[in-house]
Every structure is written in structure tokens, then in C-alpha cells.
Amino acid sequence: MHSLEGVTRSDQYRALGLSTFAFTICFAVWTIFSIIGVRIKGELGLNNTEFGLLVATPVLTGSISRIFLGVWTEQFGGRVMFPLQMLLTAVCVWLLTSVHTYEVFLLAALGLGLAGGSFIIGVTYVSRWFEKEKQGTALGIFGAGNVGAAVTNFVAPFLVVAVGWEGTARIYAVVLALTAVVFFVFSKTDPAQQERKKEGTKAVSAKEQLAPLKNLQVWRFATYYFFVFGAFVALASFLPRYYTGAYGLELTTAGVLAGLYSLPGSVFRALGGWMSDKWGARSVMYFTFIVSLICLFLLSYPEASYVVDGIEGPIEFRLGLSVGEFVAITVVLGFVMSLGKAAVYKHIPVYYPRHVGAVGGLVGMIGGLGGFFLPIAFGALLDLTNVWTAPFMLLFGIVAISTVWMHVAIRRMERKRYPELQGERDLSDLPDEPVDGPDEPAIANKYP
């Protein structure tokens, strides 16, 4: 762990504030297709599967690039990598306005997707400014930059109406370029880079940084992130289309309602970091998965009509969620997903302080791939089943599998830690220290 000697609270807040602002702008750019894609879909006559691929393509680049950007940030520092990434992305967003065919749109979307790689740059940069005990809260605050998705959902529909989708893309490109300049001018080199320069030591090689990726634990963290982040990105992009199709709402209204999901799914990430510091990331993950299962079960149930043979004749009734009920459930879902995102990243600087870039990059990549594959799967499910709620059925299955796997893995670790209790069937959970009693003398003696 590098030294924080000489680092003031002002330095910490400066790094955190600038990084969070830059990540918010990048995330807004990353999800721009959720709004302008609806107009492009109409202009090109795309089906749901093609639209899903268009929305998901930027997420592919943003996901895969994270592991490389994480390694490079470990070597060159966030003060260098963040502005470079934003400037390159701004150029790609500006060039998007000169595209006219679907195939070239997909290529342009790959370049725009670099905006998503900003996350691991910020995680690596911010984690170097804070003590281990405060990293969960700091990274949670930084991760609240996911609110950029809500910014796009709230603002972009009105920009599209006012200046068209091309003008909206140009405005986004200019704002992103200006953010890159502001970040470079006002940010400072992180303590780890300063210490390395002072001592004349070389940066950790890419091979050494990637070494922890052989641990199954890292991949387990990544699968959790596949839902809490990947599904968040997917739903932020999919919900405007859902509201316009399933409920027949205008694009501006659909964007605002989708923003109501994205907003708590972003800003409460800071709360998730604080909760993970205080009560542990494991408890937060249990809470996230259980509440998500309840929400997704309700969202999955398709609107249906029933006829019951009553005493005095047939009784007809319908089941389905109103717009208000649907929005309320998505708000709760977004809230618990924001807690889960913070909980996953609480682990990384604690377990792998010298490999935050590589490990965080892999976890972010897998999570981001969820944001790539899920919109495509959503579109394909709609085309195949013709049922609007089918995407939520898929998410319910993913969360159910993740919950079971997490619980089984935790119980296995507990039994490995306390082998004397492997035959115990009466305990619903293991205490921090085995309870002293007349029937467990061996355990009590071994663990006083």
C-alpha cells in the first residue's frame, strides 16, 4: 500500500469531486443511444433485435476497454489517462453525426463506447487517494457518476426535440471535450505515481497486474457485477423503448420515467459504499439480491385476463401493472442495484490493493458485457415471444442463479473456516466465534 503522507483532505476531495464529475459526463455520453437511438430506429426502420444491438454496441467497447485502461492507469496514472480517454471519445461522438447507414452506425457506436472505460480509470485514481477504511465510501460516491444515465434520460429527449439527434450528439461531444480540459488543469498526480517517481521505481508490469485474475474469487465478484451494473445499463437503455411501446408514451415522457429508475440507481451508490464499510459487503449483496428478486417477479408478470367460473356465472378480471406502479417498482430496483454496485467494488482495493486496475478492470468488463448482451437479448425476446415483460423474466432468472451461487460459496467458505461444524445442521448461520457450551468442548477450546 502506498503512503498517504502529505495528502490533505482538500486533495482527497479535489480528486474525488473531479473524478465523479468527469465520470458523470462520460456515463451520460455512454448511454446516449437510449434516446437518440429511438429516433435512429424510426429513420432506419430497425426491428427490436437490431435496435438492441445498436444500443448495446457502445457498452461492448466500454466493457472490453476497461481491463486495458485499468492496466494503463496503474502504469501512467489517472491524471493522464482520464483526459486522453475523454478527448478521444469526444472525437468519436462528433463523427457520429456524419453516419447514415446502420452498419456504419454500429462502427461509430464502438468508438463512442470508450466513454464507458472511464469507470476503471476513476476507480484506480480515486482509490489511491483514500485510506482503506474509507475507500468503500469514496468509491461509492465516485460510482454515483452513474447518474449520467439519468442526465441523458432527463435532458437528451428535450435536446432531440429542439436540435435533432445530430445536434444533441454535437453538444455532448463539446461538453465531453471541455470536461477533459478541466480535469487535466485542476487535478493532481495521485500519491502512488508521486511515490513511484520519487523513488525511481518502475510501474508494476501488465503480467503482474493480471496475475490475480486466476483467482475464482475475482470471477465471482464479476458475475455479481454482471447484474448490478450490466443490467442497470441495459435497463437504462431499454426502458425508454419499453415505455413508448408497452404504454404508448411520448419519448420525452418515457425518458423522464426511465430517468426515475436511473437516478436512484446512481446517487445511492455512495450510500452503498458507506453501508459496505459499516456492515460488510456480503450483507449488502444479500439485501440487493433478495429485494431484486421480489421486484423482478412483479415486473415479469405479463398483463393478463382471467375468467373464473363463479357461483352465479363467469367472473372476468385483469392483472397488470399501471404506469405508476411499474415506475415505483423500477425505482426500488434501481435503488438496491446501486447498493450492490458499491458492495462489489468495496472488495477490490481491500483484497487487491496493488492490482486495482487489473482486477477492477476485469470485474467492470464482465459487468459491462452484461450491458452489451442484455439489450440484445431483450430485443430478441420481444421479437420471439411478443411479450413485453419477457426481459424481466430473464433478469429474474439471472438474479436467482446468482443468489444461490453466492450463498453456496459463502457456506462453503464458512465450513472450511470451521471444519468442526461441517456436520452441524441446526445452525442457520455461523457466529463470529463458536458459542461456548457443554456439547462443544473441542470447538470452545480451539476458538476461545
Q: What is the pLDDT of residues 89-135, one digit of tens each?
A: 999 888 888 877 888 888 888 888 889 888 889 988 998 888 877 77
At residue 28, does pLDDT exceed 70? yes
427 band by pLDDT with thresholds 50, 70 and 90: very low
Per-residue pLDDT at 391 = 92
Residue with cell 412483479: 298
88 band by pLDDT with thresholds 50, 70 and 90: very high
At residue 23, does pLDDT exceed 90? yes
* Structure-model confidence comparison of residues 440 and 3, the more confident one: 3
Per-residue pLDDT at 211 = 64
Q: For residues 293 and 411, give the distance between their C-alpha atoms in angstroms, rounded to a whole number.
A: 21
Per-residue pLDDT at 99 = 77
At residue 87, does pLDDT exceed 90? yes
Per-residue pLDDT at 430 = 40
Per-residue pLDDT at 237 = 79
Per-residue pLDDT at 439 = 46
The answer to whether the beta carbons of residues 284 and 356 sit under 8 Å apart is no
316 band by pLDDT with thresholds 50, 70 and 90: confident
**What nine digits make up the cell of 161?**
426535440
Q: Once rounded to an integer, what is the mean pLDDT over residues 128-157?
A: 82
Q: Once rounded to an integer, what is the mean pLDDT over residues 227-232?
A: 88
Q: Once rounded to an integer, what is the mean pLDDT over residues 240-264?
A: 85
CATH superfamily of 9-189+208-421: MFS general substrate transporter like domains (1.20.1250.20)
Q: For residues 242 and 227, give the distance between their C-alpha atoms in angstroms, rounded to a whole number.
A: 19
Q: Once rounded to an integer, what is the mean pLDDT over residues 7-23?
A: 91
* Structure-model confidence comparison of residues 442 and 60, the more confident one: 60
Structure letter (DSSP) for residue 426 = S
Q: Mean pLDDT in the chain?
A: 80
347 band by pLDDT with thresholds 50, 70 and 90: low
Per-residue pLDDT at 258 = 86
Per-residue pLDDT at 24 = 93
In this prediction the pTM is 0.65
Per-residue pLDDT at 358 = 67
310 band by pLDDT with thresholds 50, 70 and 90: confident
CA-to-CA separations, 106 to 42, 61, 260, 284, in angstroms, rounded: 16, 11, 28, 37
Per-residue pLDDT at 22 = 94
At residue 236, does pLDDT exceed 90? no
**Domain extent listing, the chain:** 9-189+208-421
Q: Once rounded to an integer, what is the mean pLDDT over residues 393-417?
A: 82
Residue 100: what are its φ and ψ, rounded to 5°?
Answer: -135, -10
Q: Once rounded to an integer, what is the mean pLDDT over residues 273-284?
A: 81
Least confident of 81-85, 162-166, 318-322: 318-322
Per-residue pLDDT at 434 = 45
60 band by pLDDT with thresholds 50, 70 and 90: confident
Q: For residues 209 and 366, give the distance between their C-alpha atoms in angstroms, rounded to a whole number.
A: 17
209 band by pLDDT with thresholds 50, 70 and 90: low
At residue 264, does pLDDT exceed 70? yes
The answer to whether the beta carbons of residues 244 and 34 sit under 8 Å apart is no
What would the DSSP string read from start to end of 33-87?
A: HHHHHHHHHHHHT--HHHHHHHHHHHHHHHHHHHHHHHHHHHHH-HHHHHHHHHH
Q: What percentage of residues in the chain have a pLDDT greater than 90?
A: 19
For the chain, how many residues are written?
448
354 band by pLDDT with thresholds 50, 70 and 90: low
Q: Give me the amino acid identity at 100.
A: H
* SS3 assignment, position 304: strand
Q: For residues 230 and 207, give the distance between their C-alpha atoms in angstroms, rounded to a whole number.
A: 27
Q: Once rounded to an integer, what is the mean pLDDT over residues 27-46?
A: 83
At residue 226, does pLDDT exceed 60? yes
Question: Across the chain, how many H-helices and E-strands are there?
Answer: 20, 2
At residue 327, does pLDDT exceed 60? yes
C-alpha dihedral, 237 to 119 to 148 to 258, nearest 10°: 30
Q: For residues 80 and 61, give the distance between their C-alpha atoms in angstroms, rounded to a whole number.
A: 20
Residue 20: what are its φ and ψ, rounded to 5°?
Answer: -65, -40
